[in-house]
Amino acid sequence: MEIILCLVSGLAGALAGAFLSGRIMAHAQCLSSQRHNRDQEARTLLNLFQALQSELTTLWTGYTALVGEELESLDKPEDLTFAGIISASQSYFSVYDNTAHLLGTLEPDSGRRIIETYVNLKTYFDELNAYQFISGKAREVRLKTNVNLYEAREVRQEHERFFDYLKKRHLQIKGQVMGVQEMLKEFITLGEQARTTVTLKI
């Protein structure tokens, strides 16, 4: 009888040990999986920030070299030689267009700032193309031999109003782009620090 009791208690201990070690292993596996998912999400966001910053920097640098610097320094619309450069319908915004759904994982104000900047930049590029069309129309009216003075005045005023509007929009967009670039740099720095930080638990 004593042997049976020893066998039963040994078997019960082995079963309890197996059950507990199984639970511990399952818990450790769950924690490891959660940590892996968090690391994967952090890597995805870091890659997103780097890609958005590269896209925004490239677009803004190209725009500034072709139009922005000239627009800031000019006072007369006819002196702006090349305004219509980038169409929002082209794939210049491919990083943003293909990853905008990830911006919902950010803190709401940060996501809103990035979205507003990109939407305003796209709209502004379309406005530049519309301005190019109006400039062409103004040029045609100036070169006509038999000019309708009323039409000429209307076209000139529209051209000047649009030019003034673009100068204001340029400064607004410039502020937004610079602000978002700084924010993305900060996110990238924080993300890289988080990936390289080692924490010791004692």
Do 54 and 94 meet the contact criterion of CB atoms below 8 Å apart?
Answer: no
Query: For position 91, what pLDDT does the model report?
Result: 74
Please state, in angstroms and rounded to a whole number, the distance separating the CA atoms of residues 120 and 123. Answer: 5
Find the mean pLDDT for residues 168-172: 95
pLDDT tens sequence across 3-19: 766 666 666 666 666 66
pLDDT tens sequence across 48-107: 999 999 999 999 998 898 888 988 898 888 888 775 666 556 678 889 999 888 888 888
pLDDT of 198 higher than 50: no
pLDDT tens sequence across 15-32: 666 666 666 666 666 666
Find the mean pLDDT for residues 179-186: 95
pLDDT tens sequence across 133-156: 888 888 888 777 677 788 888 888
List C-alpha distances in Å: 7 to 15, 17, 33.
12, 15, 38
Which long-range CB contacts under 8 A does 98-102 form with residues at least 24 apart?
99/48, 99/51, 99/52, 102/44, 102/45, 102/48
pLDDT tens sequence across 64-76: 988 889 888 988 8
Residues whose CB falls within 8 Å of the CB of residue 166, separated by 6 or more in sequence, listed in order: 71, 83, 127, 128, 131
Average model confidence (pLDDT) across the chain: 81
